[in-house]
Amino acid sequence: MVDKWVEREMLRGLQGLLALRLSGAPAADAVGMTADIWLVAIGDKASTWKEGLDAERIRRAFATLFSRVRQWPSPAEFIDALPARVPQPALPKPPITEEQREQNRRRFSELVNKIFKRMPQ
C-alpha cells in the first residue's frame, strides 16, 4: 500500500504522459487502472518514500520521461529516471566540555596501558 501523495504524483505524471499522445499509451479512461499497476510495480520502493524528500524526485522522473520517450514507458523506465535522493544535512557534532575531553584522554590512556600490559614481551 502506498501513501496518497505517491498515488497523486503518479496520477499527475501519467496524465502528463497521456497528454503526449505516445504510441502504446493506454486509453484515457484507463489511466486510473494504469496508475494502479504502476503503483504495484513500484510498491516496494514507494513504501520507504517520504513526501518531503521524494515528491520532487517523482516529478523530475516524469519530466525526464516527458522529454525522452517516444512511446509509452514502462514502470522500469520510470524507476531508471528517478534521480538520487538529495542527502540530508548531517547533524552538527555535539559539544564536548573540557572535562569530558580530559575523561576521554584518561580512558584512552588506560586502554593503551592495558593493551601493552597484556602483550607478551
What's the pLDDT at 19?
94
The torsion angles phi and psi of 40, rounded to 5 degrees, stand at: -65, -45
What's the pLDDT at 63?
98
Indicate if the alpha-carbon torsion angle 13, 15, 16, 17 is positive or negative. positive
Residue found by looking up cell 580530559 in the block: 102
pTM beyond cutoff 0.85: no
Q: What is the pLDDT tens value at each position of the chain, 121 positions in all? A: 688 999 999 999 999 999 999 999 999 888 889 999 999 988 776 668 899 999 999 999 999 999 999 999 999 999 999 999 988 888 898 899 999 999 999 999 999 988 888 777 6
CB contact at 8 A, 39 and 2: yes
Q: Is 93 left (phi over 0), alpha (psi -120 to 50) or beta?
A: beta
Residue 17: its H or E element: helix 4-19
Residues paired with residue 23 on neighbouring β-strands, in sequence order? 71
